[in-house]
Amino acid sequence: MTVKKLTVLILALSVFIFHVTPLFSAEQDPDLAKEVEIGRRAMKQIEEKWPLTSDPAVVSKLEMIIRRLEPFMSRRIKWEVRLVKTEALNAFCLPGGFIFFTTGIIDALNTDSELAAVMAHEMIHADRKHSLRMAADSSKVTLGALAVMVLSGGAVAPMILAQVAQIAVTSSYTMELEAEADRYGLDALIKSGYSPTGMITLFEHFMAEEYRQPIHEYGIYMNHPESPKRLAAAVKTLHDRGIPIERKYSLGLLRTEIKEGTNDISLNVDGQAVVKGKKTADNRAVMTSIRGELDKYLQLELAPYEIHVERGSLYIGNHFIAGNINGMTKPDEIRKNLLKVINSGRAKYPTSKFFK
């Protein structure tokens, strides 16, 4: 065989392995079909009690998030998503990949990054068979035996299905399984390109709600007073990986825009003007440059001294932001405006540890 033919054969085999192996592995998963059937039967119990609703825009967004996360799951599950109409803050996933989000949690979260943090956590529960493992442990049987007991339709089947559904809906997982869902969920967030800080602000958000209404049920966090420990673990993971905590991306804050009037132009952050000047091509170019630097370096976690003026120029850390230009807001004033914007953003989330 010539070198050329051998090279072609190797490339062909590589393509075959890349495209076929994941599908082959999924088809050979001996448990998945059983899990799907168990999930479907448990889902019937849930849908009898919880009013489902339809919102194509929300469902489409959630399905888009799933598509970005599913390559980083260990198994090839055909995920399905449903919306439940209730103000309760909850999300859960049944065996086989049936994911439920309440309209309450959709309304409460700020960005796709936070939604993705919830989604990744719930997908890991199903990907690693958490509710089935707990139900099997409770019944003191193997996963295989549990599936037989449910799918055979025997007398204990309704009780086991109710237990599986209850574990998922109320998030009655052990802390070990919750930590596993947090850990692998955060890993999926990082790999998928979502801001991993979404998991940080998610924990902080629910902890703040818990402080305000300690008796309220919060679904995915309702039984876990150890949430501060889980938050600390997520923060440590990001620090260990050298990933900065930048909450503005998961909270949807410190967003910049350039606004042009008839004669004036301004650079706004969260709707507040931080730089103003006459409407000229030069000023527009300068503001566009400043905007690019603020998008990179302006963060909620900045300490006041990190935004400073040296020799008439504004810096964030050691990064040059703006100089002194005639007819435009002076660097000292820009600094004051930026600090006001940051403080305004922080005031909306007082429990966040912005200086980490």
Residue 11 covered by a domain: no
Task: Check residue 126 and report its DSSP letter.
Answer: H
Residue 207 covered by a domain: yes
Burial of 299 (0-12, 13-18, 19+ CB in 10 A): buried
Please say which residue of 218, 250, 282 terminates a domain. Answer: 250
Q: Are residues 325 and 297 both part of a single domain?
A: yes
Residue-wise pLDDT tens digits, 67-93 = 999 999 999 999 999 999 998 889 999
Q: 32: how many CB neighbours lie within 10 A of its CB?
A: 19
Instruction: Report pTM.
Output: 0.83
Q: How many domains does the chain have?
A: 2
In the prediction, which pLDDT does 288 show?
97
Residue 23 covered by a domain: no
Q: Are residues 262 and 236 both part of a single domain?
A: no
* Residue showing tokens 């109320």: 170
Distance between CA atoms of residues 220 and 117, nearest Å: 12
In the prediction, which pLDDT does 332 show?
97
Distance between CA atoms of residues 315 and 286, nearest Å: 15
Residue 81, phi then psi, degrees to nearest 5? -125, 145
Residue 153 covered by a domain: yes
Q: Are residues 168 and 69 both part of a single domain?
A: yes
Residue 222 covered by a domain: yes
Radius of gyration of the chain (CA): 25
Residue 25 covered by a domain: no
In the prediction, which pLDDT does 10 show?
35
Q: Are residues 148 and 233 both part of a single domain?
A: yes
Residue-wise pLDDT tens digits, 87-99 = 888 999 999 999 9
Q: 212: how many CB neighbours lie within 10 A of its CB?
A: 9
Q: Are residues 228 and 263 both part of a single domain?
A: no
Q: Are residues 235 and 289 both part of a single domain?
A: no
Q: Are residues 243 and 295 both part of a single domain?
A: no
In the prediction, which pLDDT does 3 show?
41
Q: Which residues of the chain have pLDDT under 70?
A: 1-28, 154-155, 209-226, 355-356
Please say which residue of 207, 222, 250 terminates a domain. Answer: 250
Does residue 88 contact residue 119 with C-beta atoms inside 8 Å?
no
Q: Are residues 289 and 198 both part of a single domain?
A: no
Please say which residue of 250, 283, 313 terminates a domain. Answer: 250
Q: Are residues 113 and 43 both part of a single domain?
A: yes
Residue 353 covered by a domain: no
Residue 17 covered by a domain: no
Q: Are residues 244 and 267 both part of a single domain?
A: no
CA angle, residues 182, 86, 102, in degrees to nearest 5: 30
Q: Are residues 44 and 173 both part of a single domain?
A: yes
Q: Are residues 183 and 77 both part of a single domain?
A: yes
In the prediction, which pLDDT does 207 show?
78
Domain assignment of residue 339, given as a range: 255-348
